[in-house]
Amino acid sequence: MITLAIALSTVVAFAGEEKVAPKVLNAFNTEFSTAKEVEWTIGSDHYMATFTYNGGYLFAYYTPDGELMGLTRYISPDALSMNLQSSLKKNYGDFWVSDLFEVAKNGGTDYYITLENADKKIVLHSDGSKDWEQFKKVKKA
């Protein structure tokens, strides 16, 4: 959800073009000292770092005061719990996965998955329990 809301209002800042607040840089460097390929996106009320860390591609969202708002990463359907995989197979067997990401914030983990078939595209959300709830539905043209 963080990604969906924030992605709509961002301006990309590449190294040397815009300044990231020192509090944000300090917080990021403390938490992710071994991060590589870091790029910053600056929005009206947040900062987003896109980077590689421990072999994965992550997105970290910060307030202007350097507080970590949440982390997101793309994952494979195989990384979901067996309950969530089972629920997808049972209820959405005629769809394919076109996007799946995990959001970690405030000690919890949420999942957003985009499923498609020939006629429609749907986005589902789960808080990690066995159930998915519809987040968004779009008819294909």
Confidence class for position 11, pLDDT limits 50, 70, 90:
very low
Q: Tell whether 51 and 25 lie within a shared domain.
A: yes
105 and 58, same domain (yes or no): no
pLDDT digits (tens, 9 = 90+) for 41-55: 998 899 999 999 998
Domain boundary among 56, 71, 86: 71
Residues 88, 64 share a domain: no
Report the distance separating Cα 70 and Cα 59, nearest Å: 8
Q: Pick from 71, 99, 122: which residue ends a domain?
A: 71
Strand partners, 42: 11, 47
Specify the number of domains making up the chain.
Answer: 2
Which residues lie closer than 8 Å to 35 by C-beta, 6 or more apart?
28, 49, 51, 52, 53, 58
What CATH number does the domain containing 64 carry?
3.10.450.360
Does position 61 have pLDDT exceeding 90, yes or no? yes
If pLDDT is split at 50, 70 and 90, which confidence band does 9 have?
very low
Total-model pTM: 0.76
- Identify the CATH number of the domain in which residue 96 sits: 3.10.450
Examine the fold and report which residue of 71, 86, 101 is the final residue of a domain before the chain moves on.
71
Instruction: Show the domain range for 114.
Output: 77-139
